[in-house]
Structures are given as structure tokens and as C-alpha cells.
Amino acid sequence: MFNMCSFVLDLIKSHGSNEPRNIASKLNIKVFYRNMPVGVSGVLINPEIKKAIIINSRLSRKQQRVALAHELGHVLLHSQYYNLFDELDCDLRKQLDTDADAFAHMLLTKRGNHETKTCN
């Protein structure tokens, strides 16, 4: 069974950081900051074409960091759905977003140091 917390801790350990920008860089994912409509935090560009994430530059720095962590969650957890996203039903879309939110929360709260090395 998939353990999100262990996955995130392993990711932090392997990349030496819980900072989304550092992880994206090490995964060769370009991150762009652009003005986007209100209500849009970020979007993932189809990685088969170009690995890129666009983050809404109108958000606060903290919100941008959360949005980037969320989009990284989609990259790392949901690659099998990239080409099908427009065809997914509402319930599955909600579940994928819930997963990406959980990933982002864990990534941003776990630092891989002595304080937070466990999944309790």
C-alpha cells in the first residue's frame, strides 16, 4: 500500500531539501511565474511536451510555494492521468487534488531533519 508520508520523506532525503523550487529544479521541471486569472494558483504543462509548471505571480510568496508543492504532487503522483485530465470525472479530479494537497502539506511541513523524520 502506498504511504504518502514515507514517499515525501524519501523525496526530501534524496533531494536534500523540502523546498519545492529546489525539487523542481533537480527534476528538470521549469517553473514560471505569470499573471493568471483570480482563482488559478498554478498549472502543470503536459510533461510529455515540456516539463513546466506555471504559478500565478499575483499570489503571495507563501501561496506560490504551496501552489508549486501542489503541482509537484500532481507531477510525482499522477503521471498516468496527464493525457486524460479533461476526460476525468468530477470525483476522480477531486481525489487527485486531495492527493496533491496532502503531498504539498507533507512536503512543506516535513524538513527531513531530526525534528520531523517520522510519519507519526
pLDDT, tens only, 16-54: 999 999 999 999 999 999 999 999 999 888 666 678 999
Query: Residue 17: CB partners within 8 Å, gap ≥ 6?
Result: 23, 112
Average pLDDT, the chain: 86
Averaged over 106-113, what is the pLDDT?
Answer: 79
Nine-digit cell string for 64: 506560490
pLDDT computed for residue 79 by the predictor: 73
**Phi and psi of 53, rounded to 5°?**
-125, 135
Q: Residue type at 101?
A: D
pLDDT computed for residue 3 by the predictor: 92
